[in-house]
Chains A and B, each alone.
Chain A
Amino acid sequence: MTFNDTLFRQTVERALRLPAGRYRDELKLGDVAEWDSLGHLDLVIALEQAFGVSFPTALIPQLDSLVVIRQEIMRLSPE
C-alpha cells in the first residue's frame, strides 16, 4: 500500500499544534514541548481518525516516535 505522507504530517502538526517548521519525520515523544503525555493522547486520536485505524490500549504507550507510529499505522491499515 502507499502511505499518505502529507496526511500524516498535517495530522501530526494539527494534533500537536506544532508551530511551522517544527515537524520532522524522526520526531520522538518529548522532543517538543507540545508532545507531552496529554499531547500524546491527542495525537493518537487524531491519527486514528485520519487513517481509520484503532490502536490497542497496550500499544499506545509504545507509540513514542513518528517512525514507530508510521509503521503501526501501515500494519493496522486494511489492505
Chain B
Amino acid sequence: MSVHEWRLLGDKTLSGIARELQALLSADSLGGRVVEAGFDSWRRELFDPESETRRVDDATWIFLLSPRVLERPRVSEELEELLALLQSLSRRIFFGTFFADSLVPRPLTNSLSPELLAARLNLRLAEFAKSRAQFFLLDQAGLVAREGLRALSDPRFEALAQMFYSPAGARSVARLVFRAVRALQRPSAKVLALDLDNTLWGGILGEDGSDGLAMGPTDRGYSYRRFQEAVLTLKREGVLLVAVSKNDSDAALEVLRTHPDCLVKPEDFAALEIHWQPKSESLRRISEKLGLGLDSFVFLDDSPNEREEMRRVLPEVTVLDFPTDPAGLVALLADTSAFDTLQVTEEDRKRTDDYRAQSQRENLRHAAPSLEEFYRSMQTRLELFRAEAGSAERLHQLVLKTNQFNLSSERLTPDTFRALMLDPAVDVWGLRVGDRLGDSGVTGLAIVRKSADVWRVENFLLSCRVIGRTVEFGFLRWLTERARAGGTQSLDFVFRATSKNRVAREFLEKSTLVANADQVSWRVDLTTDALAGLPPHFVEISEGAAT
C-alpha cells in the first residue's frame, strides 16, 4: 500500500514546516509522508501535468502562500487560474488563507492596501470552498493575527534561505496544519462536560447567591460571558453540552432558567447532573444514557481536586487544565484540538435536540410494560437511499466518526469513498431514521460489494443514537432480503474488532451470523431460510430519495 502524501505547495521554502509537520504526524501515529513540492511550486508544479505533484495520486495538497504573493501584479487573476485548475482536478486540498505584510506600513489605507487585497482574496476562497466538499481553508491569517508577524517570521532567513517563517513560525504553522489533518482522520470529541460554579459563571452559588454570580456583559462577569458565548458556538457546531456540578439542583437550575445574565439555558444541555455525588459517576451515567464512549468526553472544572478525581477514575476522559485567570477560558477552548472538525453538517447542528429525545426514549423504555411494546410505541421508521453527491459529505462523516456500532471500522479517505459511490459493482446505501419523538437524520450506512456468489458488506455502521430500537435488525433484514432477491449465495459482513466496537460484535452474535474461515467476515447463508434465523425488528422500512 502506498503511503499517503501531504504535499506542501507555496511561493517560499517550506522545509521548516515540512519537518515540524512530519514530526507531529509521526508522534501521533497519524502517518503519511510530508513532501515539500519545492520553491515557488504553487504555480510551476501545478500547471505542468508531468510534474511530480500532478503524478502522485494518493496525496493531499496543502497551499501555504506567503504575503509576498500579494505583491505580484496579477495575483487576483493568478488565483482564479489556480482555482479553475483545482476545480478540474478533484483533489483534497487545504488552502491557507492570505495575509498581508506591508512593505511600507501606513496608518491609513484608503487605496487597495495589501490587507484589503488579502481580505478580498480570502472572501473568494471562502466562496470557492462553500460548494466543494474537498476544499478546506486553513486559518493561516488567523494564526498570524493571534501570534503576530514579528513572532512568526525573520527577515534574515527570508533573505538567506527564502524562508518566510522563522523556526518558531514553522512550528506554529505546522501545528495548524496538523490539527486540520487530525480532524480529517480522527473522530472529534462529542461532549463538553462543564462545571458551573467558577467555570460557567463566576462565583459560588451556595455562598454568593444567585445575585452574586458574575456572568454579565461588563467587569467581573465579562470573561464568563465570552466563555458562555464560545460554549454555545461549540453547541451549534454539534458538540453536546452536559452540566456536572456539585450544587443544590433546584437552585442551580433556577439560575440557568432565570438569571438575566446567563446565556446558557437548561435546554442547551443534553444532560444535567447536579448533585453531590462524584463527578466521575455522573459522566459514566451520562455516557450510558447518551450511548457515547467516555473517550469522546472533555471535562472542564476549576477545581484541581475534581480534575484529579476524573483523571484517576476515568482516564479515557480528556481533562482540560483550567486557566489561572477566567480571561483565558475562551483561548483554552480555541487551543483545544479535541473538538476540531472540518465539516459541520445539518445533523451536527441539531444533535442536542436528538440526544434530548434520546433521554425521553430512555424514560419511556423504563415506563413501558414490555420491551416489545416500547419498540412498537416508538413507531420507528427507516428509510434507505442510495448515496449521491448531496448526501456524500454526511455519509463520509459517519465513516470517520462512528466508533461503536461500526463493523469494519475502516476509515475511508474521501477519495476512496467517492470512488466507491461511482463503482458499478458497489452499492453505497444511506439510512435515515425517525420516530414519533423526532428525526435523527442520516445515521447509518452500508457499503456492499456485489459479485455473483457473494455480497460483501465492507462497511456497516449505525450512529449510536439509533441503535437499541431494533433499527440494526431492521437494517440487516432489509439487506438480507435484497441480497436474496439479487440471487447471491451469501451475504458476508466484514468485521474487525477494535477497542470500541464490542457492540458490533454482539450484534453479529445476536443475529446468529457465523464467522467465515477467513476470520474477518461473518456470513448470512442465503441458501437456507436465512430470514427465519434473524432477530425480529419493530421498524417500518422504506426506500426513498436521499434528500
Q: Mark B13-36, 1 if CB is under 8 A from A, else 0.
A: 001100100000000000000000
Inter-subunit contact B168/A61 (CB<8 Å): no
Inter-subunit contact A41/B19 (CB<8 Å): no
Could you say which of B19, B154, B155, B156 contacts A38, with CB atoms under 8 Å apart?
Answer: B19
Inter-subunit contact B167/A61 (CB<8 Å): no
Inter-subunit contact B156/A60 (CB<8 Å): yes
**Bound form: Cα–Cα A37–B161 in Å:** 9
Query: Does B157 interact with chain A (Cβ within 8 Å)?
Result: yes
Inter-subunit contact A57/B159 (CB<8 Å): yes
Inter-subunit contact A41/B16 (CB<8 Å): yes
Query: Does A74 interact with chain B (Cβ within 8 Å)?
Result: no
Contacts of B166 in A (CB 8 A): 41, 45
Main secondary structure of the interface of B (DSSP, over half): helix
Contacts of A60 in B (CB 8 A): 156, 160
Inter-subunit contact B160/A57 (CB<8 Å): yes
Query: Does B163 interact with chain A (Cβ within 8 Å)?
Result: yes
**Bound form: Cα–Cα A28–B16 in Å:** 21
Contacts of B159 in A (CB 8 A): 57
**Bound form: Cα–Cα A57–B160 in Å:** 7
- Contacting B at CB under 8 A, from A56-71, are 56-57, 60-61
Residue of A nearest to B157 (CB): A41
Contacts of A45 in B (CB 8 A): 154, 166-168
Residue of A nearest to B156 (CB): A57
Query: Does A13 interact with chain B (Cβ within 8 Å)?
Result: no
Contacts of A37 in B (CB 8 A): 161
Contacts of A57 in B (CB 8 A): 155-156, 159-160
Q: How far is the CB of B168 from chain A (nearest CB, A)?
A: 7
> Beyond A57-B156, A60-B156, is A41–B161 a contact (Cβ under 8 Å)?
yes
Contacts of B160 in A (CB 8 A): 57, 60-61
> Beyond A57-B156, A60-B156, is A41–B163 a contact (Cβ under 8 Å)?
yes
Q: How far is the CB of A24 from chain B (nearest CB, A)?
A: 23
**Bound form: Cα–Cα A57–B163 in Å:** 13
**Bound form: Cα–Cα A60–B15 in Å:** 18
Chain A interfacial residues counted at CB < 8 A = 10
Q: Mark A6-45, 1 if CB is under 8 A from B, else 0.
A: 0000000000000000000000000000000110011001
Q: How far is the CB of B210 from chain A (nearest CB, A)?
A: 50
**Bound form: Cα–Cα A41–B167 in Å:** 7
**Bound form: Cα–Cα A45–B155 in Å:** 13
**Bound form: Cα–Cα A60–B158 in Å:** 12
- Contacting A at CB under 8 A, from B139-198, are 154-157, 159-161, 163, 166-168
Q: How far is the CB of A36 from chain B (nearest CB, A)?
A: 9
**Bound form: Cα–Cα A41–B160 in Å:** 10
Contacts of A42 in B (CB 8 A): 167
**Bound form: Cα–Cα A60–B159 in Å:** 11
**Bound form: Cα–Cα A78–B304 in Å:** 45
Q: How far is the CB of B157 from chain A (nearest CB, A)?
A: 6
Contacts of B156 in A (CB 8 A): 55-57, 60
Q: How far is the CB of A17 from chain B (nearest CB, A)?
A: 10
**Bound form: Cα–Cα A61–B157 in Å:** 10
Q: How far is the CB of A34 from chain B (nearest CB, A)?
A: 11
Inter-subunit contact B168/A38 (CB<8 Å): no
**Bound form: Cα–Cα A38–B167 in Å:** 9
Q: How far is the CB of A60 from chain B (nearest CB, A)?
A: 6
Contacts of B161 in A (CB 8 A): 37, 41
**Bound form: Cα–Cα A61–B156 in Å:** 11
Residue of A nearest to B16 (CB): A38
**Bound form: Cα–Cα A37–B15 in Å:** 10
Q: Mark A41-55, 1 if CB is under 8 A from B, else 0.
A: 110010000000001
**Bound form: Cα–Cα A41–B19 in Å:** 13
**Bound form: Cα–Cα A57–B156 in Å:** 5
**Bound form: Cα–Cα A56–B159 in Å:** 11
**Bound form: Cα–Cα A43–B16 in Å:** 13
**Bound form: Cα–Cα A42–B16 in Å:** 9
Q: How far is the CB of B274 from chain A (nearest CB, A)?
A: 48
**Bound form: Cα–Cα A6–B40 in Å:** 41
Contacts of A56 in B (CB 8 A): 156
Contacts of A38 in B (CB 8 A): 15-16, 19
Candidate in B16, B19, B154, B156 with the most chain A CB atoms within 10 angstroms: B156
Q: How far is the CB of B292 from chain A (nearest CB, A)?
A: 40
Contacts of B157 in A (CB 8 A): 41
Q: How far is the CB of B39 from chain A (nearest CB, A)?
A: 13
Residue of A nearest to B168 (CB): A45
Q: How far is the CB of B146 from chain A (nearest CB, A)?
A: 21
**Bound form: Cα–Cα A56–B155 in Å:** 11
Contacts of B15 in A (CB 8 A): 38
**Bound form: Cα–Cα A4–B146 in Å:** 35
**Bound form: Cα–Cα A55–B156 in Å:** 9
Residue of B nearest to A61 (CB): B160
22 contacts between A and B (CB under 8 A): A37-B161, A38-B15, A38-B16, A38-B19, A41-B16, A41-B157, A41-B161, A41-B163, A41-B166, A41-B167, A42-B167, A45-B166, A45-B167, A45-B168, A55-B156, A56-B156, A57-B156, A57-B159, A57-B160, A60-B156, A60-B160, A61-B160
Counting from the closest, the 5 A-B pairs by CB-CB distance are A57-B156, A42-B167, A57-B159, A45-B167, A38-B15
Extra contacts besides A38-B15, A41-B166 (8): CB < 8 Å: A38-B16, A38-B19, A41-B16, A41-B163, A42-B167, A57-B155, A57-B156, A61-B160
